[in-house]
Chains A and B, each alone.
Chain A
Amino acid sequence: MTAPVTHTEQDTGAPASPPPAPRVVPAGEAFRNACRYEWRHLAALRSTWVLLGVVAVLSLLTGPSLLLDLDRTRAIGAAQMGDVLAWSPMATQIPLLCFFVLILGTGPVSTDLVRGAARTTWLAVNGRRTAYAAKCAVGFLVGAGVAATSALVGAVSAAVVLAAAGAPQPAWAAVLLPVVRFVLWMGCWALLCTALVALLRNRITPVVLLCLWPVLGERLAGLLLGYVPGLDGVGDWLPFAVGRAMLTDVSAFAGDDKAFAEVMVGSDLPTLAALVVYLLYTAALTAAGYWAYCRREAPTG
């Protein structure tokens, strides 16, 4: 028979004061705490800072890349400059997409649902709803912030290179609008990634999907839909065609450049309409991700 219960108070180093009675934390404060939680999740990973560093360094190459095809007699148009900041430095796009898809987009949700940290998250912040809202808010803000910073660094680099080459500066104030659309696009990318991981509860599939669908899958789908009677215009409305139309104002191009831009964009929607449709796509997918995330159970183990 085991000895009877004797509860001696040994010194375990525990603080002697009793725990305070908890207080009800208002929803706003709980959300702010959850956002701090999500930010610290990102900030504590070395990969976040490594990729941000790569993004920053490559953003500096925006200026030198202009020298490859620079007409020193004419100022670059605002739409073209916006396009350069958003698209041309392809080297910048790769780490940007790595950052958005891997770190910012899929990381926070996959850590919860795939790596099993959901129980930590849901018990630290106020449950699934607050956690998902915070992931979206932090993802969007950080994503938009990184895109804005990248665009700013790229713009400064371009301005310096143009000045050094003796070429006229573009109308920088007019570049602001395309850059704002670029920043919105990148913020939405983070939301799309988050939602997709929540829906699929898998990290690899969304990454593959998000890398291949915009480039190949959607163009193929648009092409095939064109053969279906009555659906020949649907290709214009597919998510990433709409996203490209939102980013690139095709009407600002002329001649061969315009034809090339039209082919690259793959949608005839005007910029503003494309922006609205893209935001609606993002909102719908984010809502679906919210629904899926809130239905999940915390993985065991």
Chain B
Amino acid sequence: MPKGDVLVEAQHLRRSFGSRTVLDDVSLTLRAGEVTGFVGANGAGKTTTIRLMLDLARGAGTTLFLGRPLHAWGSPGNVVGAVLGGIAGHPKHRVRSHLRMVAAGCGASDRRVDDMLELVGLTQAAGLRLSQLSLGMAQRVGIAQALLGDPPVLILDEPANGLDPHAIRWLRDFLRDQAAQGRAVMVSSHLLGEMEQLADRVVVLSRGRVVAASPVAELLSRAGSRSVVTVQTPDLAGLTRLVEEQGGRLRPAGGPSAHITGLDRIRVGALAAEGGVVLHWLSEDMPSLEDFYLSIAEEEFRIS
């Protein structure tokens, strides 16, 4: 599948519990060769969205996988691989037996099971019962399970939960690799910082609504517009006047220090030089994607 092709199209997903709407008109697309980060605070509706997309829960809206509803394909495991909180199976089943069972369901061979166990580095753990797996091992078995049907779409719900930094790094590289092979990968997380290093695109969910959806670079650029310039000057009044004339905002931070928003440090430096204001300190803090996301979420909270 050529990179950029839309493989998954979720439209107008909605879910309510009585009068409480937990998901409101959520639409998103996943493209071949891209990792899409799906970000939101705990309780924002990420898992609910994924469950609706996969028809594991009831709600309104449609999701098409390569142009068809998931079950119109006849074998969902060949279309989408999902990792939803590790592994779900009979606790007495052994890892290899469990995976062979799933392989039978999606028409994959037993050989594929061994290949996938090797891929996720769990060949040695194939004889363990599911109840004996650590959280990290369960996540890896979940990934092996998701790949059994060799699907073009991978959806992972908070896959980094419970993983140590080494495993997170492995997961990040692994998912980038999967996208590089042409898969559409969707990863949900409540940590936007993770996405800066992993995702091509980010969809931000807040209180059941999509509040931002764009390439990571674009989102970072938008986040950049919210930078904070820190200055120290003996003439705060003069600098305040210059900044406000240019549409910026200066907040005193104690003594000769102040924080300026709405202008970047180059503009502030130039203004000070033109206006004859002496600066003893000039620096700019770019907010991380995390801070940006938190500010969006905060705004959403205030609006609602």
Residues of A within 8 A of B (CB): 1-10, 12-27, 29-30, 33-34, 36-37, 39-41, 44-47, 111, 115-127, 297-298, 300-301
What is the CA–CA distance of A231 and B77 in the complex, to the nearest angstrom? 52
What is the CA–CA distance of A1 and B77 in the complex, to the nearest angstrom? 39
Chain B residues near A20: list those with CB within 8 A: 150
What is the CA–CA distance of A46 and B90 in the complex, to the nearest angstrom? 12
| CB pairs A–B below 8 angstroms (27 shown) | A2-B288, A2-B289, A8-B176, A12-B177, A14-B177, A15-B115, A17-B181, A18-B183, A19-B1, A19-B182, A22-B66, A22-B79, A24-B74, A25-B75, A37-B104, A40-B97, A40-B100, A40-B104, A41-B90, A118-B56, A119-B54, A119-B88, A120-B102, A125-B75, A125-B105, A297-B51, A298-B57
Tell me if B90 and A111 are in contact (CB < 8 A).
Answer: yes
Q: Please name 4 further chain A to chain B contacts, defined as beta carbons within 8 Å, in addition to the given A7-B180, A119-B84, A298-B51, sorted by A numbering.
A: A19-B1, A30-B74, A111-B90, A115-B89
Chain A residues near B217: list those with CB within 8 A: 4-5
Indicate whether B220 reaches chain A with its CB closer than 8 angstroms.
yes
A122 and chain B: residue at smallest CB distance? B56
B198 and chain A: residue at smallest CB distance? A5
Report B94-121 CB contacts with A as 1/0, cut-off 8 Å: 1001101110111100000001001101
Chain A residues near B106: list those with CB within 8 A: 33, 124-125
Chain A residues near B181: list those with CB within 8 A: 14-19
Chain A residues near B73: list those with CB within 8 A: 22, 24-25, 126
Tell me if B145 and A25 are in contact (CB < 8 A).
Answer: no
Indicate whether B11 reaches chain A with its CB closer than 8 angstroms.
no
B116 and chain A: residue at smallest CB distance? A15
Chain A: minimal CB distance from B83 (Å): 10
A46 and chain B: residue at smallest CB distance? B92
Chain A: minimal CB distance from B192 (Å): 10
Report B124-146 CB contacts with A as 1/0, cut-off 8 Å: 00000000000000000000010
Q: Which 5 pairs between the two chains have the least Cβ-Cβ distance?
A: A25-B74, A124-B105, A37-B105, A44-B97, A36-B104
Chain B residues near A117: list those with CB within 8 A: 88-90
Tell me if A9 and B90 are in contact (CB < 8 A).
Answer: no
Give the one of A1, A9, A124, A301 with max B CB within 10 A.
A124
B142 and chain A: residue at smallest CB distance? A120
Known: A12-B177, A37-B102. A22 touches B75 (CB 8 A): yes
Instruction: Select which of A2, A23, A25 is within 8 A of B196 by beta carbon.
Output: A2
Chain A: minimal CB distance from B37 (Å): 11
Chain B residues near A17: list those with CB within 8 A: 181
What is the CA–CA distance of A9 and B107 in the complex, to the nearest angstrom? 30
Tell me if B74 and A45 are in contact (CB < 8 A).
Answer: no
Give the one of A5, A17, A27, A30 with max B CB within 10 A.
A5
Tell me if B57 and A123 are in contact (CB < 8 A).
Answer: no
Chain A residues near B234: list those with CB within 8 A: none
What is the CA–CA distance of A21 and B1 in the complex, to the nearest angstrom? 7
Instruction: Select which of A8, A39, A45, A124 is within 8 A of B102 by beta carbon.
Output: A124
Indicate whether B151 reaches chain A with its CB closer than 8 angstroms.
yes
Indicate whether B281 reaches chain A with its CB closer than 8 angstroms.
no
Indicate whether B173 reaches chain A with its CB closer than 8 angstroms.
yes
Instruction: Select which of B1, B196, B289 is within 8 A of A18 by beta carbon.
Output: B1
Chain B residues near A45: list those with CB within 8 A: 90, 92-93
What is the CA–CA distance of A1 and B92 in the complex, to the nearest angstrom? 46
Chain B residues near A29: list those with CB within 8 A: 74-75, 107
Chain B: minimal CB distance from A141 (Å): 16
A27 and chain B: residue at smallest CB distance? B74
Report B65-82 CB contacts with A as 1/0, cut-off 8 Å: 010101111111111101
What is the CA–CA distance of A7 and B98 in the complex, to the nearest angstrom? 33
Known: A17-B181, A40-B97, A118-B56. A126 touches B74 (CB 8 A): yes
Tell me if A120 and B145 are in contact (CB < 8 A).
Answer: yes
A129 and chain B: residue at smallest CB distance? B71
What is the CA–CA distance of A25 and B149 in the complex, to the nearest angstrom? 12
